[in-house]
Structure 1
Amino acid sequence: MNNIKIRNNVKVSGNKNGPTLMLAHGFGCDQNMWRFMQSILEKHYQVVLFDYVGSGKSLLTDYSTEKYGTLEGYAEDIIDIIHELKLTNVSIIGHSVSSIIASIASIKIPEIITNLIMICPSPCFLNVPPDYEGGFERSDLEELVELMDKNYIGWANYLAPLVMGSSQSPELIAELSGSFCSTDPLIAKNFAKATFFSDYRHILKDIACPSLILQSGSDSLADVQVGKYMAENINNCALEVINAEGHCLHMTNHEDIVPFILRFI
């Protein structure tokens, strides 16, 4: 296996005497999406950025369809990086699916991961009647995945405004669409299946560290009710609903969420 720092394009910056803060990007994204809040966080924390294998500037030669067919494979990336850098007392900010990926990692190494900040998380995007509404019927998500096969560019152009928020700047929507398009279609499809068809509600009770959920008030992918569900099912969890639209608060509303992060950690 290649050196993990190279494999995951790991970058360490900021206050080397401060607490360690790891930033975990979401589906179809890479570490560059954190740039809006990175400089502020670097004043207070040692910041660890990385790309999951298959994303950004990671080593695609280390990609495994089987390993990364479940979110546990991505959690292994986080754990590998923590061990490689010999980190202790790590706080993780996870965007979207990375909130769950980071939660899986925290359950595996609770002595190292001490805080979780979740931006627009969801433990399950599927509706599971009668007890849970994740927001999507299985047939809807199956059609979305089928569109990836038939028209990958069209899929990216459809999903980007849905994720970013249609009222957000055209430049940010175009950036997200471009990020989707730059991901290998087979890798993107595998990650999409692992993200949208999984159900990790059962792990919420096992999250031991203090957690903070930063939820968008209007989010087409993860409704406020999903954030409330998670906060109710995770011990020692706070929920903050931000008056904003879209699924990417770290890009569109970083000035609103950074104060919550600084107070929490």
Structure 2
Amino acid sequence: MPVDVVKKNNVTVRNENGRQTIVFAHGFGTDQTAWGTVADAFADNYRLILYDNVGAGLSDPAAFSPNKYDTLHSYAEDLLGICRGLNLDDVIMVGHSVSGMISLLASIKEPGRFKKLILVGASPRYLNSEGYLGGFTQEALDGLYAAMANNYYAWVSGFAPMVMENADKPELAQSFANSLASIRPDIAQSVARVIFQSDHRADLPKATIETLLLQTKHDNAVPGDVALYLNQHIRGSHLEMVNAEGHFPHISAPDEIIREIKNFIG
């Protein structure tokens, strides 16, 4: 395995001898450990690839530049770099939140690398616009950026429970808050702006890989209307509403996600 790829994205490979490969990619504020329970369910029968997006987890901090990572295409190129470095083709790609769009963009550029896409709580655009409900107004996003800049750790303490939901399991929000707090505040602010201001609606019809969309019953970060929009604009995609709440069903309701993935990949 190329050392530079491993260092840059803290790539982990499990079960080298698995005949089929599943790649797991995490969302904003988490790292590859967020997939722990879900990944474990596939470890016996599949080769698993997990990694940290640059700026998160144990990725190489020197690799992050706000000028380079000012678009999701840069993260998609990192994913393709991992696929090239490990000679991966026909992988089952599982991407949460922003990594859903990152995975889709990578599949458009090099479709032969991917056999199936599974997008969990993905969104092509978080900002509301005419005829489209993304979930946030620009005023709300500007307030979010200001709160991050003013007192990052105070913002973390409020944002984590809002998007994790599952108030009966406060330990989940605390774990997410700890993960967010471990990110350098300047990196977190830069990445948040890129994610929340992105618009990849025009890319959706370009996707050609069979896609499963997983959406919870209620998600403060990604409304159900967004999942319906994805389903309408990604040709041949399948949408499943999972019996869970919040933006992190792979953490709060892993059995639901495991079952849907198994049903989809056969």
Fold shared by both chains (TM-score > 0.5):
yes
How far off is 1:158 after superposition?
1.1
Q: How many Å separate the matches in 1 of 2:30 and 2:168?
A: 17
Partner of 1:110: 111
> Superposed, which structure 2 residues align to 1:129-208 within 5 Å?
129=130, 131-208=131-208
Q: How many Å separate the matches in 1 of 2:17 and 2:65?
A: 33
Partner of 1:21: 22
How far off is 1:169 after superposition?
1.3
Q: How many Å separate the matches in 2 of 1:123 and 1:245?
A: 20
Q: Does 1:254 align with 2:258?
A: no
Deviations 1:116-169 (A, max 9, x none): 10111111111011x100011011011101111101011111110111114251
Q: Which amino acid aligns with 2:28?
A: F
How far off is 1:43 after superposition?
2.1
Segments ≥4 residues shifted beyond 2 Å? 14-18
Percentage of pairs with the same residue: 37
Give structure 1 stretches of 5+ with no counterpart. none
Asked if the contact 2:104/2:207 (under 8 Å) is kept, the reply is: yes
Partner of 1:51: 52
Partner of 2:94: 93
Q: How many Å separate the matches in 2 of 1:168 and 1:222?
A: 21
How far off is 1:80 after superposition?
0.7
Deviations 1:166-206 (A, max 9, x none): 42511110110111111011111111011111111111001
How far off is 1:18 after superposition?
2.6
SS of the residue aligned with 1:17? coil
Asked if the contact 1:15/1:42 (under 8 Å) is kept, the reply is: no
Asked if the contact 1:212/1:239 (under 8 Å) is kept, the reply is: yes
TM-score, reference length from structure 2: 0.96
Partner of 2:228: 228
Q: Which amino acid aligns with 1:42?
A: A
How many residues align? The count is: 264
SS of the residue aligned with 2:69? helix
Deviations 1:42-98 (A, max 9, x none): 123111000011110011111121111111111111011111111111111110111
Asked if the contact 1:102/1:116 (under 8 Å) is kept, the reply is: yes
Q: How many Å separate the matches in 2 of 1:168 and 1:122?
A: 26
Q: Does 1:67 align with 2:68?
A: yes
Partner of 1:36: 37
Q: How many Å separate the matches in 2 of 1:166 and 1:254?
A: 13
Deviations 1:5-35 (A, max 9, x none): 1111100003623311100000111001011
What is the CA RMSD across the aligned residues, in angstroms?
Answer: 1.3
Q: Which amino acid aligns with 1:238?
A: H
> Superposed, which structure 2 residues align to 1:115-130 within 5 Å?
115-129=116-130
TM-score, reference length from structure 1: 0.96
Q: How many Å separate the matches in 1 of 2:215 and 2:28?
A: 17
Asked if the contact 2:166/2:252 (under 8 Å) is kept, the reply is: no
Give structure 2 stretches of 5+ with no counterpart. none
Q: Which amino acid aligns with 2:137?
A: E
Q: How many Å separate the matches in 2 of 1:60 and 1:216?
A: 32
